[in-house]
Amino acid sequence: MNTPTELRRQLNFEYSFIAGEAAASWTLLMLHGTGGNEEDLLPMGRALLPGAALLSPRGKVLENGMPRFFRRLAEGVFDLEDLRHRTHELADFVESAAALYGFDSSRIIAAGYSNGANIAASLLLLRPKLLWGALLLHPMVPLVPQTLPNLSAKRIFIGAGRRDPLVAPAETERLHQLLNAADAKVSLHWQENGHSITPDEFAAAQKWLAGAVNGI
């Protein structure tokens, strides 16, 4: 069994952690977009699910000085080898954090925006046992695994903008179809907006999350 010192050594990310209000709290894995950091999404996490524990790592890849969770070769073109490596690295970090801080590893929900949503989707596809569900805001298809996992127990929210200049609606639909093919329970919410999170989109995500954790 790893000691607390050994577990801290395995937490090889810069990160913020806020304990939940109860031992049985949910934990939100907050995953920022390109150029963000471990503090950016904490206010959103508090508002999304009050009382939940928050685990928020900073992406370790730098693009022109801006943190990301994995490399890309061009806009919308991902370095798939790096993506796979970073996905497993992030999953290992979350597992070590759960062991160190004692939060329930069966009640982890990823909440990611843009690049953070993409690696959250990659976690679902490559390390599905890690997450109870996910809230994906303006994601793309990160990769298509050789064999789709069984995501029938997963609940997923996708928030998307029909005028998003970075994520075409067809790309959103492709991710929706991919997750449906893996039997996930997916809710797709469209807004007439671009790549930013609007108040209406946030309210829809908040309502969905409250219903999901309460079995509605």
Q: pLDDT by residue (tens digit) across 102-123?
A: 999 999 999 999 999 999 999 9
Distance CA 89, CA 24 (A): 26
Q: Which domain holds residue 84?
A: 4-213
Active site residue 114: yes
CA 46 to chain centre: 15
Tokens at 28, concatenated: 């939100």
Candidate list 114, 122, 138, 176, residue with the active-site label:
114
Active site residue 195: yes
Task: DSSP letter for 84, please.
Answer: H
Model pLDDT for residues 142-187, shown as the tens digit of each residue: 999 999 999 999 999 999 999 999 999 999 999 999 999 999 999 9
Split at pLDDT 50, 70, 90, the class of 22 is confident
**CATH code at position 24:** 3.40.50.1820
Count of structural domains within the chain: 1
Candidate list 96, 138, 164, 176, residue with the active-site label:
164
